[in-house]
């Protein structure tokens, strides 16, 4: 995906996500989990654990990882990859903060559908 065809969509205020928490963005290609770390960084992942599809948005956020609520897989917020002995990954979705607003590029999810 190149920069030119990125589509940034405003999905709300950063303040809408609790620190060390997450919120969900619904899209026609599935849910996106937008995380906010203790350092006030944001990351967005497909809201489906690579293990059994658990909603990562409901997990406990620590450092730059989230622990899935279903079976405690730990997923990196930066790479989407499972940590430790577990293998698997979810898509990361581009996200940025502009003047306190959250912008995501949901087309990445569609790209997967098309593929």
Partner 1 sequence: MREKLVVIGNGMAPGRALERLLEAAPERYDITIFNAEPRVNYDRIMLSPLLSGEKTFEQIVIHGDGWYVKHGVTLYKGHKIRAIDRAAKTVTSAAGITAPYDKLIIATGSLPIVIPVPGSTLAGVLTYRDLDDVQAMLIAAKSRGSAVVIGGGLLGLEAAAGLKEQGMDVTIVHLMPTLMEKQLDATAGHLLQRAVEARGIKILTKANTEAIWGQSKVEGVLLADGTELPADIVVMAVGIRPNATLAKDAGLIVKRGIVVGPGMQTSDPSIFAVGECAEAQGECFGLVAPLYEMATVLAARLAGDANAQFTPSATATKLKVTGINLFSAGDFAEGKDREEIVLRDASRGIYKRLVIKDDKLAGAVFYGDTADSAWFFDLLKRGADISKMRETLIFGPSYAGGAALDPMAAVAALPDDAEICGCNGVCKGKIVTAISIQGLKSLDDVRAHTKASASCGSCTGLVEQLMKATLGDAYNPAAVQPMCPCTALGHDDVRRLIIAKELKTIPDLMQALEWRTSCGCAKCRPALNYYLVATWPGEYQDDSQSRYINERVHANIQKDGTYSVVPRMWGGMTSANELRAIADVVDKFKIPAVKVTGGQRVDLLGVKKEDLPAVWADLNKAGMVSGAAYAKGLRTVKTCVGTDWCRFGTQDSTGLGIKIERFMWGSWTPAKVKMAVSGCPRNCAEATCKDVGVICVDSGYDIHFAGAAGLDIKGTEVLGHVDTEPEAIEVIAALVQLYREQGRYLERIYKWAKRAGIDTIRKQIMDDLDRRRALYDRFVYSQKFSQTDPWAERVQGKEAHEFAPIADLTLREAAE
**Is residue 26 a contact residue for partner 1 (CB under 8 A)?**
yes
Going by C-alpha positions, the residue among 61, 89, 95, 92 that lies closest to residue 78 is 92
Minimum CB–partner distance for residue 2 and partner 1 (Å): 18
Strand order in the sheet with 65-67: 60-62, 65-67, 74-76
**Is residue 106 a contact residue for partner 1 (CB under 8 A)?**
yes
Residue choice 60, 86, 89, 94 for contact with partner 1 (CB under 8 A): 60
Residues in 67-86 that interact with partner 1 by CB under 8 A? 67, 69-70, 72, 74, 76, 78-79, 81
Total Cβ atoms within 10 A of residue 23:
16
């Amino acid at each position: 995906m190149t920069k030119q065809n990125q589509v940034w969509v405003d999905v709300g205020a950063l303040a809408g996500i609790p620190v060390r928490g997450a919120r969900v963005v619904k899209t026609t290609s599935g849910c996106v989990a937008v995380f906010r770390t203790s350092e006030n960084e944001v990351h967005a992942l497909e809201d489906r654990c690579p293990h059994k599809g658990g909603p990562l948005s409901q997990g406990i956020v620590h450092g730059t990882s989230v622990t899935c609520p279903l079976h405690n897989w730990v997923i990196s917020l930066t790479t989407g990859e499972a940590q430790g002995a577990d293998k698997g990954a979810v898509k990361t979705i581009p996200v940025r903060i502009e003047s306190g607003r959250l912008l995501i590029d949901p087309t990445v999810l569609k790209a997967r559908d098309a593929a």
